[in-house]
Amino acid sequence: MEQILRNFFLFLSKNKFFTKLAKRYGLRFGAGRFVAGETIQHAVETIKELNHQGMSVTIDHLGEFIESESEAKAAAEECMEAIRAISSHNLDSQLSLKLTSMGLDISYDLALENMRNILKEAEEKNVFVTIDMEDFERCQTTIKLFKELREEYEHIGTVIQSYLYRAAEDIEDLNVYNPNLRLVKGAYKESPKVAFPDKKDVDENYKKIIKIHLLNGNYTAVATHDDTMIEFTKILVKEHNIPLNQFEFQMLYGIRVERQQELVEEGYKMRVYVPYGDDWYGYFMRRLAERPANVAFVLKGITGK
């Protein structure tokens, strides 16, 4: 049943009609639990509160189905506005973004141009930028673009997904750049030709890439809500005397809030992934797909019970 729900929500996440409908009616139907608001001003207030609680943040201006150069440039400008807001409010926050929102599906050069503009602003304001990884179809291009940008800029990282067979190979390939990587399990529906179909294999590969990247001496963001993976990381860093400033845990805004606070109190760096914007629908559906139990939170938000 859980797999059926997962596939259903992933299907909905790609539906352009519902995406447009959701933008029209705003953050209703429980999405407000997982999205900080529709504007950077809303996001700033959320970041301030999380910083007050001892948590770091990475913000993501949500965008799906960019279809024109003007839309991509507007999305890039939104990212630069977010960087300026982080700097002017002296927030403990980074920026995350997707290359499709920068126009990757229109042209590689357009995405590269927009990224250079963003990273120039980020270097000036000392704000770190992470390129989110999307589906397998865009994986190789994302890594190629990351490498090109990493040759020019310091304040940039990307994401590796453990459900892909290629994950460990990609980490070793990127090691020459001493990259700051966010390690995740993965939230897209992929063919068994490119991704592990069984959860246990995804989990084992996740442990494998955490260990490889940490032992390579690189900064590692362990992005998971899975207590097994959190405990694995804690044990690993103790066994190998890895300093606390070489890694952090990351979780999504609105999910396992108490666990986030516990990790802070235990002395670990905790970064919360905070999305904002009116194009929230696809992100919201993928969160429901990752953990169908989140549907209960949505129903509670709608009914108020």
Residues serving a catalytic function are 132, 182
Segment (H or E) for 276 = strand 270-276
CA distance 204 to 200: 6
CA distance 68 to 121: 23
CA distance 222 to 219: 10
SS3 243: coil
Q: Output the CA–CA distances (angstroms, integers) from residue 92 to 80, 210, 270, 299, in the order listed.
A: 16, 24, 11, 32
Segment (H or E) for 257 = helix 257-265
Give φ, ψ of 127 to 5 degrees: -115, 130
CA distance 112 to 25: 33
C-alpha closest to that of 96 among 43, 48, 175, 55: 43
Q: In sequence order, what are the beta bridge partners of 60?
A: 96, 275
Evaluate whether 83 touches 121 at the Cβ level (below 8 Å).
yes
